[in-house]
Each structure stands twice: as structure tokens, then as C-alpha cells.
Structure 1
Amino acid sequence: MKQVNLEWGKLGFNYIKTDFRYVSIWKDGEWDGGKLVEDNKICISEGSTAIHYGQQCFEGLKAYKTKDGKIQLFRPDQNAKRMNQSARRLLMPEIPEEKFIDACIQVVKANEHFVPPYGSGATLYLRPYLIGIGDNLGVKPAPEYMFSVFCSPVGPYFKGGLAPVNFMISDYDRAAPHGTGAAKVGGNYAGSMLPHEIAVKRGFADCIYLDPATHTKIEEVGAANFFGITKDNKFVTPKSPSILPSITKYSLMDVAEKYLGMEVEERDVYIDKLDEFIEAGACGTAAVITPIGGIEYKGKLHVFHSTTEVGPITRKLYDTLVGIQFGDVEAPEGWIVEVN
């Protein structure tokens, strides 16, 4: 196998060009067979709807090296389903689930030497994306589409391990009621850059968005989903049509219930009732869990477990899910797709 000269233990969450990526084109009502290419630059029409009208969506998932040298993907079928939900919302053609998973497997196999070794804390991040392309001018669905998957080895999101960070409540809305909040589309992220910058300048890790209609309920934490652990040992996470359905969150809900024996509730989480939680966190593919030390609301910092120590339940959730992803803990049926 080809060797890569990378210091796996020092990787951040940054783009590193790998050897191959997968590309498939939709035209005249159907997808072509797709192929692996070496060029990491794409050439599209200047009239592409992805450029002008935001007709694009994307996904994020990882490939993990196990202790015995196998490579595995974590729940890629769920990423395929979510990408198709986003595609439907933006009137883009769906990608057959088998095609999506096969594309991911092809990319991992072709770049196998970029999969970080077990124990390094690093993984191979996969970024599937779907964009509207072709000559176009009016506001209408594109005449052609491109589906691609590229990959990049990334380090752990936490430098210095799992550690709590603080967040502030934003005055901005992440998404509109009945908008595209539940779709993984670029516009949601573009709109979040300014509030994120404001939060960072004020010394916070990121901001928390409240529901756009009433500004009374927690929706998302930056680009991640919120969860809290109640005093009576319940795992609680917000329910809303404008939250992106996080695959990590739904996996943690299963872990909490089936591995930790907790009750799980998906319901409204009111910003003025933070006292019900003894621990809190944000969850997503990149970091798995970001423990929340405190949330600033109306000039006061509400602290959960601690601003310096990770809560015991948050740590158990993290260790169990990461254990499943790296093959150290037995996974529920269908969660793992082996690449080799």
C-alpha cells in the first residue's frame, strides 16, 4: 500500500488533498455510472444554479480504522437518506442509496493509505455534495447536477481532549419557520458565519440559536444539535421542524437508551428552564460531542456540570459512541459498513 507522510497525531480539521474523488453527473433524467477522478478542481457553467441560487446540499461522515486493521463507515445509509431529504427540499434529483454508499466505499478504498491508524485519534472525513450545474439564468431547477464525494484525513475536533466550552445565545436566527433548517444546505451555514464571529470575539466557542418563531426554545448549537441530561437521568434533545436531524444525535439517543439505560425525550427545551439540566452538550459528526460548560443568556452565565470538567454521563455517551465507531464496542445491527 502507498505510504503517506503525515503526522497523524497533529492533524487538525483542515482540507488535505487526497488522490481520488468520485464524480457522477445527472442529465436527461438519469445519473451516469460515476467514476473516480484525480483532479480536485471542478469546471462548471457560470450559469450554474449552485452559484447563483444556492441549489446545493452536502453531507459529512467518517471512515474509521479498527484495532484489527479493518476500515468501517458509520451509518452511511442515514447520510444517504438525509441527503435525499435535502435534495427533495431544493428540487434536486435524489441519489439512490446504494449509489451513495458505493461512492463512499470507492473513495475510501482508492484513498486507503490516507485512513489514519487506530489509536491516532484521527479519521478519514468524507464530504459528499450535490450541486446544480449547467447553462441557466432564471430562477428554476438546474438542467444538470453533479454528485461528488471527496475525503480528507482529519484530527480530533478537540485539541487537548474532551473539554467543556461556553456558548452565548444569538439574536440572529439560523433558519426561518418552514424554511430550510432541516436540510443540510450551504445557505444555512453562510448565514451562521456572522453570529459565530460575534460569539468568538466575545470569548465564546459559538452561539446558540433559539426557535425563529418565539425565541423561547433552544434549537441548534452553532452547526450542531443540543442535548441535556436532567437531574432524574433523562437524555433530552430539542424537537423542531427547523433543526437539522443529526445522525450523531439520533445515535446518541439510542446509546443513552440501550447502552446506558436512560430515558430519552425529544421535546421543547425552553431557554428559561436550563435549571432542569445537570449536564449539556452539542453533538455532530465532526466532534461527536462538545460538552457545554455554560450558556450566557441575558447577561448571566448558566453553568451546568462545570466549565472545566466533563460530566460523567457526557463522557460515558462519548466513550460508548466512539467505541462503536472504532469497533471497540459492539454496534447495533446495521450501523457499521465494512469497507475492506
Structure 2
Amino acid sequence: MKFEVTRNPSPLSDFDREAAISDPTFGSHFTDHQVVVVWEAGIGWHSAQVIPYGPILMDPSSAVLHYGQEVFEGIKAYRHEDGSIWTFRPEMNAARIQRSAKRMALPELPADVFIDSLHQLIAVDGDWVPKPEGEKTLYFRPFEIAAENFLGVRAAKRVEYRVIASPVGPYFVGGVKPISIWIALDSSRAGKHGTGEAKTGGNYAASLLAQQEGYDQGCSQVVFLDAETSTHVEELGGMNLFFIYKDGSVVTPGLDGTILRGITRDSLITLIRDRGIKITERKVTLDEVREGAKSGEIAEVLACGTAAVITPVGIFKSRDEEIVIGDNQPGELTVSLREELTGIQYGIVADRHNWMHKLAD
């Protein structure tokens, strides 16, 4: 698919751009351009463009506003020491947005168009990718929305795929410090046969009430239990969980349709197996976490996702209890895996699995 490029006539000045990327706040500044590709029933995908960043002209009856038919992704661009720009496992993001789209009755964007859209945006906004220091990156937000103007409960016949990008620093400020997690006892993120496995805004909206409760209690994230029994730990509002036991083995909650198929999660499973460490995907009960933390059987807990990469978890907290993991300090395996994964992403550790994809020299 050929992309038509219209340059922004008033891009941010070099001085202002450098100021924006020197100390970026997550999701606060955006690059000069965006990608747009249109889909229409009976025609398919067409009109691929790179255009100036700016507001979306949207009719008040646009379907996404009324029926929530939308999906999105998160993926980063990394500048290596030689100045080249890379991204991490984009084919996984392409496959996941296709699965999410299918679940939300949206058309599936071809994987090559997804990957090319990242190339196209970097071709005009490559200067926005920060230097490889302080874990700074350029964060892509690809998304797909129902863009037909109508009221009626059915799948939209016109859809837009867009990509915007924002320079970002660490998701959690203050270095690699354990975070506190609020246990959602009164709300669920996703139920059986629902949309839990889709990366769609409704799932995140459903997490915000509990997330706010967690903030009020001094927690950085919220963990959800399964909707059927409220006994099994599933995932955080935006990250997956791993439990490291004192015998060295690792457990992560299994995928059963209610948990997002995290790309960082999948990568960590591979890196852990590379080390000869036993890792199991299975159900993990809150009782097991409570008892394991108390006895010392659970030595470390980590949370992972594209935005935060890997962060240690020190405390699980609810209105009924506080569960402290280890000594509330970053665990050895957590720190080691974080160093390995970020090293691969920034080109300083060997990429044995060919995960990195070059976007620009």
C-alpha cells in the first residue's frame, strides 16, 4: 500500500522538540505527524496517508462515540548508540491488533500495513526518537476506530486506523523501585467470553474506578481477580504478573481468554526458559500469594508491559490486608531480566531471537 505524505507546514522547532524529548512525561507531547488509513465495506483498506498531527474531525454521531467499537496498541521505537532506530517484535503487535479487531467486529489490518505505518511515521518524525539514555523512547499508539456516522447497534461500515507517537521516559518515575498494588475486591476487569483478551478501551475504562481507589491508598496499579470466583489473580490494569518462588521456579497466570496476551509477557517467558528456569502458566489464587509471601515461598513478584517494561512489586494491599513480598526490595531475577530485556531493546545485549526490527538507519 502506497502512503501519500503531506508534511506539517508548521512543525515544532528544533529547540522546542529537544525540550519535549529531554525530559518527557508519558503521553504529554506528540510528534508533528500522524498516520491515517481508511477502511470501507465493499472497498477494503485504502487512502493511506501521513498527515500533520491534529484534531480528528468527527461527527457527533460517529459510531465509536456511542458503541465503543475501537482497539489500540502500544509499541516503542528505540534509538541505538549508532543513531539507528529500531522497534521490538512489531509482528506481535500486528497480530494482536488483528485479534482485538476481530473480537470487536472491526476489519483486520494487514500486518505489512501495520509495520509499514511505523516506518512511514519514523520517516518524517525520526528526530523525535530520544537518545538512548534514561530509558527514553518514542511510544507509538496505533489505534482503530469505528468512523461511520450513524446511530444503531451494528458493526460500522467505515473505519479509520491511525498512528500517533509520543516521546516518553520511564512509566514509573524514581528508578527500579517496587510498586504497591491495590487488590480490586469489588470490581472485575473482564469475564469469561468477554473482551478481556482484546486491547480495547472499554477494558481500561472498567479498570479506572478501582485504579482511582488504589491511587487514594497510595498504590501505583490495581490487580484484578477473576470474575467468576474472585479468588484467582489475573492481571493489573495494564500489565501482566510473574511470581518467582524461592526454589527458583516462576509462575504466571495462564491465558484463558480474560487476560491480555502481553508481548513483554511472551518475551519474558522465552528469556526465562533460555536460562533453564522452570516456568509454568497456571491459575494463581490470592490465597497462594498471601500464604507464599508470609512463608517466604514467593520470593519476588514482577509486573510487565510495553509501557513499564518490567517493574518489581513490593506490596499487595486491600481494605482488608497488606501482603509484603520479600523485603519490599527489587528481586535479583526481576532486576536481571529487566537488564537483559532493555539491553536487547537498546542494542547492547545480543538479540538471539531476532526480535528487533530496524525502522531507520
TM-score, normalised via structure 1 length: 0.95
Q: Is residue 306 of structure 2 the alignment partner of residue 285 of structure 1?
A: yes
* Runs ≥4 residues deviating over 4 A: none
What secondary structure is seen at the aligned counterpart in 2 of 1:73? Answer: strand
Q: Which deviates more from structure 2 when the two are superposed, residues 123-132 or residues 286-295?
A: 286-295
Change in 2 beyond 3 A, CA 1:22/1:130: same
Q: How many residues align?
A: 337
* Superposition deviation, residue 109 in structure 1: 2.0
- Residue 5 of structure 2 corresponds to none
Give yes or no for contact 1:63–1:126 (8 Å, CA) kept in 2: yes
Q: Is residue 266 of structure 2 the alignment partner of residue 243 of structure 1?
A: no
Matches of 2:149 and 2:316, distance apart in 1? 47
The 5 A counterparts of 1:1-340 are 3=14, 4-6=17-19, 8-27=21-40, 28-171=42-185, 172-239=187-254, 240-258=256-274, 260-274=275-289, 275=292, 276-297=297-318, 299-307=320-328, 309-340=329-360
- Offset from partner CA, 1:14-65 (integer Å, 9 cap, x none): 3212111110100133101411000321112322221100100000000001
Q: Which residue identity does 2:338 align to in structure 1?
A: Y
- Offset from partner CA, 1:248-271 (integer Å, 9 cap, x none): 11111111111x331111111111
Matches of 1:118 and 1:290, distance apart in 2? 19
* Superposition deviation, residue 7 in structure 1: 5.9
Q: Which residue identity does 2:30 align to in structure 1?
A: K
Matches of 2:125 and 2:58, distance apart in 1? 25
* Superposition deviation, residue 9 in structure 1: 4.8
Q: Which residue identity does 2:336 align to in structure 1?
A: K
Q: Which residue identity does 1:318 align to in structure 2?
A: R
What secondary structure is seen at the aligned counterpart in 1 of 2:348? Answer: coil
> Which consecutive residues of structure 1, in runs of 5 or more, have no partner in the other structure?
none
Matches of 2:155 and 2:234, distance apart in 1? 30
* Superposition deviation, residue 8 in structure 1: 4.0
Matches of 2:205 and 2:91, distance apart in 1? 26
Matches of 2:88 and 2:352, distance apart in 1? 11
Matches of 1:50 and 1:283, distance apart in 2? 29
> Which consecutive residues of structure 2, in runs of 5 or more, have no partner in the other structure?
1-12
What secondary structure is seen at the aligned counterpart in 2 of 1:333? Answer: coil
* Superposition deviation, residue 191 in structure 1: 1.2
- Offset from partner CA, 1:122-173 (integer Å, 9 cap, x none): 1000000000012221100111000001101011113221100111211210
* Superposition deviation, residue 337 in structure 1: 0.7
> What is the alpha-carbon root mean square deviation over aligned residues?
1.5
What secondary structure is seen at the aligned counterpart in 2 of 1:6? Answer: helix
